[in-house]
A and B are shown apart, each in its own frame.
Chain A
Amino acid sequence: MMRKVEEWKEGRCRLFHFEIGKIQDWKPVKDLLNWARAWSLWSVHLCTGCCSPELMAVACSRFDAERFGTLPFPTLRECDLLFILGVVSEKMAKRVKITYEQMPEPKYVIALGDCAISGGLWWDSHNVVQGVDKIIPVDVYVPGCPPRPEAWIQGIRLLQKKIMEGR
Chain B
Amino acid sequence: MSIMRVRWGPQHPVSGQWAFWLDVDGDIVVNMEPDIGYTHRGIEKVAENRTYIQNVPVVERTSVFDAGNIVFGYVQAVEELMGIEIPERAKYIRTIVGEMSRIVSHLYGLGLLAIAVGFETMLMWFINDRELFLDLFEMLTGARITYSFFIPGGVLHDLPQGFYDEAMRRLDYFERRLKDYWKMFFLNRTFITRTRGVGVLKREDAIRLGVVGPNLRASGVEADVRKDEPYAAYDQIDFIIPTEKEGDAYARGGVRFHELEQSVSIIRQALKKIPDGKIRVKVPITPTPPKGEAYSRVETARGEIGYYIISDGSNRPYRVKISAPSFRNLLAMPFLSRNVPMADIPTIYLSLDLIPLDVDR
Contact = CB atoms under 8 A, between A and B. Distances in A.
A61 B128 contact: yes
A124 interface: yes
Interface stretch (A17-25, A28-36, A46-54, A135-143): A46-54
A50 B145 CA distance: 10
B324 to A, nearest CB: 14
B131 A57 contact: yes
Interface core residue of A61, A87, A121, A128 (most chain B CB under 10 Å)? A121
Contact of B131 (A62, A89, A91): A62
Contacts, number: 91
A76 interface: yes
Contacts of A154: none
| B-side interface size class | 35 or more
Interface stretch (B8-16, B233-241, B251-259, B285-293): B8-16
Interface residues of A, number: 33
Contacts of B10: 46-47, 92, 95
A146 B61 CA distance: 10
A122 B41 contact: yes
A54 B39 CA distance: 17
A53 B137 CA distance: 15
B47 to A, nearest CB: 11
Contacts of B144: 54, 148
A126 B47 CA distance: 12
Interface in B144-184: 144-146
Contacts of B123: 60
Contact of A127 (B17, B42, B130): B42
Contacts of B146: 145-146
Nearest to B134: A57
A128 B49 CA distance: 16
Interface string B23-43: 000000000000001111110
A166 interface: no
A127 B131 contact: no
Contacts of A87: 39, 41
25 contacts: A45-B11, A45-B13, A49-B17, A50-B357, A52-B17, A53-B108, A54-B144, A56-B108, A56-B127, A57-B127, A57-B131, A57-B134, A60-B123, A61-B128, A62-B127, A62-B131, A91-B37, A92-B10, A92-B17, A95-B11, A124-B49, A125-B41, A125-B42, A127-B42, A146-B145
